Structure 1
């Protein structure tokens, strides 16, 4: 990673830190030479701790991982969430964009011969960081980078890796469309898996599996989330704690929407959008906002529309149209760089050892420039060594940031070690419960939640009945007071205020009583309306408790009957 250059005094302090590392190595090897250890030990305590942290935020990830072995203090600092956030901010502030390029050896290669290659680059040359076996990349899937981690879905298997450290883990999923999300508030990674249901020849999504990664002591937890029916269409994109993707609701070619998954609260909502936004579209992040690049032709970029979501709550979109100076065939748009230029990248590797190009389009100057990235399967030796043949799908992810090891990375370390041990892996498989028992647990949790909601509504109904009884008694008492009209005009009227009787005017007393009765009558009407609404909710909750999956089947039946 390219980082800002160190100043002379920082270089001097960095050399002191290196001497500290050498000292620890000598102590570990049993070097007892006091004269050689005495001088570095003085330097050991001469660097302020905050300056040590500042220096470590500028180190590459691999050097940072080795620095964890220096001392327990350094290890705890590097693993702390505060340092992780500072390191991410330093990595994100670099002037040059870093991106990842992932591709498979071929869609025709099966089994253990499959390979997924992940390259990373911040300049004109890319470096091969990882080669993951038994994993491929289909033409509809991608490998986006989310907060320094890359996720790839292949069938019902979701693979997460850290290209900077080489950590990788694979998770079984209930759905074949799984994407990685990150909650910046709690610093939590979650995977959203779409569980499709075949209806009338279409794949309709109502149920979703949410996998919480690295939580609860470094393990994983799973939860089921439901939504109104929809048919997913576009790629999935994570922006500021939300996962977005385009879809038709409730079935194809009906209502275009953006499905929005809140990673933190695990809730799904829909955002309205114009129908043209979904046609031949790719979702990208444009200047911190969700945008859609819509090409005018299905297989090439010559002219395109840029739709930008200006207001998420109101669903307000803006549109700009651009014409490229040349035709870009078999290209897609993975996003933008730090300068705001729209990136166009190939979807497949070229046949033979051909150069790999990425295009950058400036929306202000209308200029299109081509940049060659060296090292992306552009020599015959690499292709022969890894058996690259035709139809090698490519996925480019811009704005990649190197991340050090923290809670989620520690989870990757643990899971990666388990995957290497066949005996442990078999033991884990035996401990997994069957799908029927998992569904039963999910249904039981759903039933308990609905029963709790019913109890809350019943408690609210009892409270309103007590309040209505109180107001009814007060209304009857005030109706008796209205008999003041029978008194003569010169009669004396007294009001009891505490222990004292205060004389009042007869007309004023009658007016106060009538106002009090009007207020009590209005409150009784409001309480009656609330009770009616609560009783309706109580009846619906009772039906839901009697049939735990009532809402899910109701949505599916409504879709099948065309409602």
Structure 2
């Protein structure tokens, strides 16, 4: 017997209706879930701490684009704490060799373990620049340039932020007659003062008429020069007129052009304490083979290097523990004229060759790992190693206070609305 013929037609209609209603309810709930899923953002799925950790692993050049993802991401990426963390602790930190090709063009050459690239950037000169300029150094993502006759330009190539500062009013003073960076200084340096959130230019010069040495400090926040009451090393003319210091551990470091004693190899100026001190070099460095050492930063370590023309090598001494003399470690590079620039992510030494043209990567045993030939190379002087950052220039104190008050007022109005 066919069972279908025994069905009650009215019962079938009720079941069909019930099934349709249930199906509609299921579809409605599914649509709601889909709508909820669509309305969810990444911030609802991932905690902010995890997003923060992810952003730290993104190369800084790509991080600038991610500010367009959302207001929250823009706020996170631009937050001063995030900028600070990314600069100091990001495994994706990017370093480049910066130098000027001509008055209107500069190069950033990015070097890493597996690839190399170049980027052309235009300096922030609003008018037609003169031919006389100098690269004075870099600090925390900013490059310090000197422009003829009495101008300093602080510039972040990544963000395009720049500031031009005139020091012509300093030159008008009697004791600074004909003063001009860097030629009138025996020492100069560019550094960041975290306690004041300020970038500082330090310059030591000699007044030959009065036979007096002066140590001056320019604050970018206040655009004013301060005479630092510190006892300068003697003789000051041990240092080249173009002796740019390296910033590390809250101090600026210089090396004399021709140190006469290994105990006087590195001069340190602590701006917070306003005192000078010295670090001894390894005794083996200051020999006839390497009489003119130069200073470099490899990782977070001070390094001295010299060219051993007799052996056709470059000796690099790295101080692995700051101010610990016994921590000096020697690495020998089989290249007669080699300038170490920085360390790769794998801890290999990246540098510029002159007897062999190009950029080279050597491991600590002196084995050549890679050579980049088809990249623009800087001159022996007039370049700096630049670490990219999203840092912004500090506002003058008065403007900063007004800006803070304005934000607080806007915040109060927002709550009232």
Question: Shared fold by TM > 0.5?
Answer: yes
How far apart are 1:260 and its partner, in Å?
0.9
1:110-259 residue pairs with structure 2 within 5 A?
114-122=103-111, 124-132=115-123, 133=125, 134=129, 142=135, 144-153=137-146, 156-173=150-167, 176-177=181-182, 178-183=188-193, 186=195, 188-197=197-206, 199=208, 206-214=213-221, 220=223, 222-225=225-228, 226-228=230-232, 229=234, 230-231=236-237, 232-233=239-240, 234-247=243-256, 256-259=264-267
- Report the 3-state secondary structure (helix = DSSP H, G, I; strand = E; otherwise coil) of the residue aligned with 2:364: coil
1:119-518 residue pairs with structure 2 within 5 A?
119-122=108-111, 124-132=115-123, 133=125, 134=129, 142=135, 144-153=137-146, 156-173=150-167, 176-177=181-182, 178-183=188-193, 186=195, 188-197=197-206, 199=208, 206-214=213-221, 220=223, 222-225=225-228, 226-228=230-232, 229=234, 230-231=236-237, 232-233=239-240, 234-247=243-256, 256-273=264-281, 276=286, 279-286=291-298, 288-297=300-309, 302-309=312-319, 318=328, 320=330, 322=332, 324=334, 327-328=336-337, 331-346=338-353, 357-364=358-365, 366-372=366-372, 374=374, 376=376, 397-398=384-385, 400-406=386-392, 408=393
- CA distance, structure 1, for counterparts of residue 266 and residue 130 of structure 2: 29
Residues 97, 383 of structure 2: 8 Å contact kept: yes
- CA distance, structure 1, for counterparts of residue 329 and residue 61 of structure 2: 43
Residues 55 and 256 of structure 1: CA distance in aligned 2, closer, same or farther (over 3 Å): closer
- Report the 3-state secondary structure (helix = DSSP H, G, I; strand = E; otherwise coil) of the residue aligned with 2:44: coil
Residues 137, 393 of structure 1: 8 Å contact kept: no
Count, aligned residues: 329
How far apart are 1:358 and its partner, in Å?
0.6
- Report the 3-state secondary structure (helix = DSSP H, G, I; strand = E; otherwise coil) of the residue aligned with 2:255: strand
How far apart are 1:302 and its partner, in Å?
1.8
Cα offsets for 1:312-366 (capped at 9, x unmatched): 6676684747362x544xx533344344434331579xxxxxx9611233332x3
- CA distance, structure 2, for counterparts of residue 70 and residue 205 of structure 1: 57
| TM-score under structure 2 length normalisation | 0.61
Residues 368 and 68 of structure 1: CA distance in aligned 2, closer, same or farther (over 3 Å): closer
Residues 87 and 312 of structure 1: CA distance in aligned 2, closer, same or farther (over 3 Å): closer
Residues 348, 362 of structure 2: 8 Å contact kept: yes
Q: Which runs of 5+ in 1 are unaligned?
A: 1-36, 106-113, 349-354, 378-390, 415-563
Cα offsets for 1:28-52 (capped at 9, x unmatched): xxxxxxxxx9975443862443344
Residues 99, 396 of structure 1: 8 Å contact kept: no
Residues 87 and 40 of structure 1: CA distance in aligned 2, closer, same or farther (over 3 Å): farther
Cα offsets for 1:501-551 (capped at 9, x unmatched): xxxxxxxxxxxxxxxxxxxxxxxxxxxxxxxxxxxxxxxxxxxxxxxxxxx
How far apart are 1:293 and its partner, in Å?
0.5
2:100 to 98, 103, 123: 103
- CA distance, structure 1, for counterparts of residue 341 and residue 63 of structure 2: 30
How far apart are 1:245 and its partner, in Å?
0.4
Cα offsets for 1:163-195 (capped at 9, x unmatched): 211222233356513432235x64845333324
| TM-score under structure 1 length normalisation | 0.47
- CA distance, structure 2, for counterparts of residue 104 and residue 137 of structure 1: 13
Computing the radius of gyration from Cα coordinates, the structure with the larger value is 1
How far apart are 1:222 and its partner, in Å?
3.8
Residues 290 and 53 of structure 1: CA distance in aligned 2, closer, same or farther (over 3 Å): closer
- CA distance, structure 2, for counterparts of residue 368 and residue 190 of structure 1: 38
Residues 263 and 189 of structure 1: CA distance in aligned 2, closer, same or farther (over 3 Å): farther
Cα offsets for 1:481-502 (capped at 9, x unmatched): xxxxxxxxxxxxxxxxxxxxxx
- Report the 3-state secondary structure (helix = DSSP H, G, I; strand = E; otherwise coil) of the residue aligned with 1:191: strand
- Report the 3-state secondary structure (helix = DSSP H, G, I; strand = E; otherwise coil) of the residue aligned with 2:388: coil
How far apart are 1:244 and its partner, in Å?
0.4
How far apart are 1:102 and its partner, in Å?
1.4
